[in-house]
Amino acid sequence: MKYNFFKLQNLAVTSLMFAMFAFTACNSGSSSNKTDSTSTDSTASAGKNDNSTILGAGSTFIYPFFSKAFSVYNQQTGVKVNYQSIGSGGGILQLTNKTVDFGDSDAPLNGEQDSTIGVPVLHIPMCSGAVAISYNLPGVKDTLNLTPAILANIFLGKITKWNDPAIAAANKGIKLPNTPVVIAHRSDGSGTTNIFTTYLSKVSPDWSTKVGKGSSINWPIGLGGKGSEGVAGIIKQTPGAVGYIELAYALQNNMAFARVQNKSGNFITPNIASTSAAGNIQLPADSKVSLTNTDAADGYPISGFTWAIIYKEQNYKNRSQDRAEKVVKLLWWNIHDGQQYCAALNYAPLSPAAVAVAENILKSATYDGKAILQ
């Protein structure tokens, strides 16, 4: 009954905290503001010849990086980018509906999404990032260690108190409170959810069988928040809460997050180095690959790429060639000059090999069948 009381008590603050933390996230680590990235009427410009503003939508995971990079790009080129941080699922939907120039997702399109779009799309890796396991335990100053089994059992609802013997065994010498565990998870379609649930499916047969992986799943337990901002808001306002958020949000909001045991048995702190180690792999030609449960001994196991997604053929819905060129040039800049802004915002820049793959993908974009980049 304690857990149900907690749940009812905190449902009342979720909406308020989502609004507050959306503001906090957008004003951290970036010289831009939310004015150019919250338009709700994205249908007005994507298919028309007004080329003054490029429209994008999707991942909240990547928003801090995009906010900074697009601000710099505007200063350098005069081209504005209106990016809506609405979640990967929302970005894919808007791209499908042709109301934005590009979507961004932390998971590649699945078979159903590919079928719905019906024409070839390109996935261009932008950078990689870590999904942090953040928690709120007042009085606990030490950084907690969490094993794959502990994580799976927490999110399955099998571990219900923070002083559970399994957590205590992984954190010897730390006095853990008899506080109920409150799960926070995404309520919207989310690539961050895909990264996290793909990881859990790899490390836990029980999770794989009972819940599975995807951008939107039926959670066994917990409170839902919209976007990384919403989940962060629930965690920060709820003693005993634990959830998964992009590392940048945890750092920007001074939130505690755990070390997670990787496949090699090492407890790894999510940071640029450990995320880079997880992403130091050979990418396939289409760049679609999962970084979760990495074999790298020093790699953080809950890491993933985020992809900008565009139509391969850019002549659609009365788009001008000039608009198509602006979109492709923006993404080309992101995988080159834009990479210098990753580290300060706790993203791992693309490796040289990943940049080469991204270049080849962008070079395949066409307008009337002819390559846009010459």
The average pLDDT across 76-93 equals 94
Taking alpha carbons only, the member of 62, 69, 116 closest to residue 84 is 62
Q: Is 41 or 159 the better-scoring residue by pLDDT? A: 159
The rounded distance, in Å, linking the Cα atoms of 93 and 45 is: 16
Does residue 228 sit within a domain?
yes
234-262, pLDDT tens digit by residue? 999 999 999 999 998 899 889 999 999 99
Residue 51: predicted pLDDT? 66
Q: Give the per-residue pLDDT at 46.
A: 57
Q: Is the pLDDT assigned to residue 77 strictly greater than 50?
A: yes
- Tell me, yes or no, whether 181 lies in a domain: yes
Residues 65 and 149 in one domain: no
What CA–CA distance (Å, rounded) separates 277 from 317? 41
Could you list the residue range(s) of the whole structural domain that residue 83 is in?
Answer: 25-129+305-371
- For residue 116, the domain's CATH number is 3.40.190.10
Looking at the structure, tell me whether residues 337 and 247 fall in a common domain: no
Mean pLDDT for all residues in the chain: 88
**pLDDT for 14 beyond 60:** no
- 344-353 mean pLDDT: 92
Same domain, 62 and 93: yes
Q: Do residues 83 and 223 share a domain?
A: no
Residues 243 and 335 in one domain: no
Question: 333 and 192, same structural domain?
Answer: no
79-99 b/e with 16+ CB inside 10 Å = b? bebbbbbbbbbbbbbbbbeeb
Which is more confidently placed, 17 or 333? 333
Q: Does 45 fall in a domain? A: yes
In a domain, 288, yes or no: no
Residues 159 and 263 in one domain: yes
Selection from 165-174, 242-251, 343-352 with the highest mean pLDDT: 165-174
- In this predicted structure, the answer to whether residue 43 has a pLDDT above a threshold of 80 is no
Q: Which of 207, 206, 237 is nearest to 223 (CA)?
A: 237
250 in any annotated domain = yes
Asked if residue 125 and residue 42 are part of one domain, the reply reads yes
Residues 77 and 64 in one domain: yes
Q: Quick one: tokens of 274?
A: 């450990």
33 secondary structure, DSSP code = -
Inside any domain, residue 285: no
Label residue 349 by pLDDT band (50, 70, 90).
Answer: very high
Give me the mean pLDDT over the 138-149 stretch. 96
122, 142: one domain = no
Asked if residue 266 belongs to a domain, the reply is yes
Residues 188, 310, single domain; the answer is no
For residues 161 and 49, state if they share a domain.
Answer: no
Q: How many domains does the chain have?
A: 2
pLDDT at 233 over 80: yes
Query: Is residue 190 in a domain?
Result: yes
